[in-house]
Amino acid sequence: MNRMVWWLTEKLALLLNPDERNAVLGDLAETRTLAIQGFMELCGLVARRQAALWRKCVLQCAMGIAVCTVLCFLFVSKIYGYLAASLAAILIPVLGHISYSMPRHPFSIDARLALLGGLFLASPFVLWRFWLTASPPAMRHKIRYEWPFVALMTALLFAGGVFAFQVVLPQLLRLIISLSSGPPMITINESWNLAIATVAGVGLLFEAPGLCFLLYLKLSGAPTQSVINPSR
């Protein structure tokens, strides 16, 4: 048990910079701290370090998404028109018609569509900031890793969004409607809620392999300069 906790502690310490990692693990060894206590102490330090590290990134990403959301809101009728045609093609054959149930729904749908569009539009910037924050230092400012990561992850996000809208959403709606015992009364608002959640959720799911790879790089020990650039 103790050995496993120490192993976990050493793995967690990989999130610290090498000098600090050595100093902290040395301090824990010198003071003969109990394994679980050492682990908890390290969790506190790592949490503080990660919070400081991510604060700037999260703020910049939020600003980027906000700007892109405003931009998308300016063109929301076009986005709505394009997506509504697809959604109506799925729903109208089943329901006959779909309607609003509250006067505020058109605006709330527009706002959420703009936010979804903002998330997708800002994704290259968000992923680039994410790379700069989370990638191993030896790979961080290397264009040959940076650009493929951003391009691939953006492509995956868009692929996930398209897959969600074209494949997952129609199947999901048909499944939900087939499960209901009475006549369905689905409003436009509910349909869009489901559509937006599905597109965002599947899009993020498509990002998971890249994010897991980054986490793996971090926790397996960041690649050193000699691994990245053997000639140097």
Partner 1 sequence: MIGEFEYLMLAACARLGDQAYGAAIRRQIESSTGRGCSLGALYTTLDRLEAKGLIRTWMGEATPQRGGRPKRMVSLTAKGIREATTFYTTIARASRGLEWEAKPAKG
- The footprint of partner 1 (CB under 8 A) covers 19-20, 22-31, 41-42, 44-45, 47-49, 52
Q: Name the residue nearer to partner 1 (CB basis): 39 or 120.
A: 39
Query: Minimum Å distance from CB 232 to partner 1?
Result: 23
96: left (phi over 0), alpha (psi -120 to 50) or beta: left
Q: Judged by CB, which is closer to partner 1: 53, or 59?
A: 53
CA angle 156, 158, 159 (to 5 degrees): 60
- Residue 16, classed as helix, strand or coil, is coil
28 vs 153, beta carbon nearer partner 1: 28
Q: What are phi and psi of 205, to 5 degrees?
A: -60, -35
d(CA 110, CA 193): 11
> Of 5 and 162, which has the nearer Cβ to partner 1?
5
For the bound state, the minimum distance from the C-beta of residue 20 to partner 1, rounded and expressed in Å, comes to 6
Tokens read off for 222: 């960041």
Minimum CB separation of residue 37 from partner 1 in Å reads 10
Q: How far is the CB of 22 from partner 1 (least distance, A)?
A: 5
